Chain A
Amino acid sequence: MSDLWNAFEEAIHLIVSLDPDVMGIAWRSLWIAATSTAICVVICLPLGSLINFNKFRGKHLLLSLLQTLFSMPTVTVGLFVYVMVSHSGPLGMLDLVFTPEAMVIGQTLLIIPMMLGLVISAFSGVDKAIMETATSLGANRSQAYIINIKEAKFPMMTAVAMAFGRAISEVGASMIIGGNIKGFTMTLTTGISQYVSMGMIEKAFALGIILIFMALLINIAIYLLQKQRNYVWFPS
């Protein structure tokens, strides 16, 4: 028990003293997840508005599929992206395997279904008359979409926070695609797994504390956003 306590004390010390190794890993995790989330936003906002505001065959099926993919296992995404970017894969010539860039691709693919689903849900919570009023006032399509995004600001931000949370806390995809290379592709989650297997409990603790702290911040953000306004979780 005292060993655990010592490890915990050591972990706090590593964080407070801004240990370069620990900080490097935390920073890398942060920017990979943030970049993935940003790319995802750029893809999901227009795509989500297109899906929500247009009627087409198979829309319902697509929405159910998205909902299913919310909980897509991270290792399968990792496997898929690994096969694509590995040297013998179709994107092999880009030489992306075991790079942070490839991890960004993996995390982006991983969180797209969730973000897309939540974005569509956020749009569908906006009164349909908003779209018409904007159109009637002379908005073109994208201007009308922007008005809708503004109307759904809080649920949209919740979607971003949740997607970021999933990206930063996943292990499987980063492990397979990034290869967990120290100082290059090691993230908070893959680092924990590495340090535990190496018996460096204090470092694993330090990374874990940072990860939990980030998750806590995200959840507080989501809680505050959802308190702002109730909205439909998913269109029926």
Chain B
Amino acid sequence: MVPIIETKNLSQIYEGRQILKDVNFSLEKDDALALIGPNGAGKTTLLRLLDLLEKPSSGQIYFDAVDVTRSGKSRLRARRRMAFIHQKPIMFKMNAFNNVACGLKFRREDKKNVRNKVEQVLELVDMNDYRKRDARTLSGGEMQRIAIARALVTNPAVLFLDEPTANLDPASVSKVEEILARIMREGKTAILMVTHDMAQGQRIARKIGVLINGDIPQIGSPSDIFFAPTSTRVAEFVGVENILPGTVAGKEHELAIINVNGVNIQAITDLAQGENVHVMIRPEDITFTKTRDSSSARNVFEGRINKIIPLGPLTRIEIDCGMPLLGVITTRSASELELTISSKLFASFKATAIHVIKRV
């Protein structure tokens, strides 16, 4: 299948600052991809390039196998098969109905068609009662629903979303997410969403890409991204807080002994003996106990508490057991365990909870 969108070494430089560098990715016709990344990673710039609102410094964009990087006519034709929903919806100074009708009028659809399609899509976003209202007097959530209707009414082949719920109250967020889920189920529109909200990316998309510092080091299923990051920078962004350098000291089938700072950790990996590695453990996968025997995990280490940071219902604990380990426990069990700085504690985690990557 030809991807609906494909980029080749897409780069953008603003005033000497490199915003995107050599971005390569493709979006299939029924894909739903969420790009997550910290603020300033280049997410919005990427969407603006893909929506053909600006031109890249170098590289190519293909829309349905046609190079649309520069030629004006092909860009307009491609743009008319795309739609873009922004973080802050911009309404034209018209009523809601006419705002939604704009895209169809630009495409010179006949009047009857316009009316039918607009009514249908207003129904879909549950805004038919507001059709005659001046769009600029609507609330944020209502405006965003009109913006979604305006984007969907042209039946786009691809829909770009830039933090579509960032400015909305929780009720509007779930309403908008519900509409997006419905579009996805229909599977007629490829979706590319950028967000810094990892949970939302996971709720809405089938695939997640991580955009950091202007490129996309990894795209995969949510579990790949969260539990098997392929680089330390992806791991750091998705919340893997224990990233420890070590060496594979011994192997028995898939089970490896990894030496981290003199401590032996048992983990599952394909990497061979002698290989330099990073060991990654999510803080949620570490269990803390007062005694050794209460855990069935392969890795149990004794350490002393360095830091206790209460975070409402959860508490973060940093212990030193020959290597630094960071974990979370519920604040309730923290008080049951009567934790104090430099008191002794056992940290345990399963060999399968560890993700090992090659250190370069």
* Residues of chain A at the chain B interface (Cβ within 8 Å): 127, 129-130, 132-140, 143, 147, 150-151, 153
Contact = CB atoms under 8 A, between A and B. Distances in A.
A173 B92 CA distance: 41
Contacts of A134: 92, 102, 106
Given A135-B53, A136-B53, A130 B92 contact: yes
A129 B76 contact: no
A132 B162 CA distance: 14
Contacts of A133: 86, 90, 92
What is the size category of the interface that chain B forms with chain A? Answer: 20 to 34
Contact of B150 (A132, A137, A139): A137
A127 B90 contact: yes
B76 A140 contact: yes
A138 B79 contact: yes
A37 to B, nearest CB: 24
A135 B79 contact: yes
B93 A151 contact: yes
A3 to B, nearest CB: 55
The interface residues of chain A, by DSSP majority, are classed as: helix
B84 interface: yes
Nearest to B84: A136
B51 interface: yes
A135 B150 CA distance: 13
A230 to B, nearest CB: 15
Nearest to B151: A137
13 contacts: A132-B90, A133-B86, A134-B106, A135-B79, A136-B84, A137-B106, A137-B150, A138-B76, A138-B80, A138-B154, A140-B106, A151-B92, A153-B93
A138 B150 CA distance: 11
Contact of B106 (A129, A132, A143): A143
Interface in B13-53: 51, 53
A140 B107 CA distance: 9
A137 B103 contact: yes
B107 to A, nearest CB: 6
Contacts of B151: 137
Contacts of A132: 53, 90
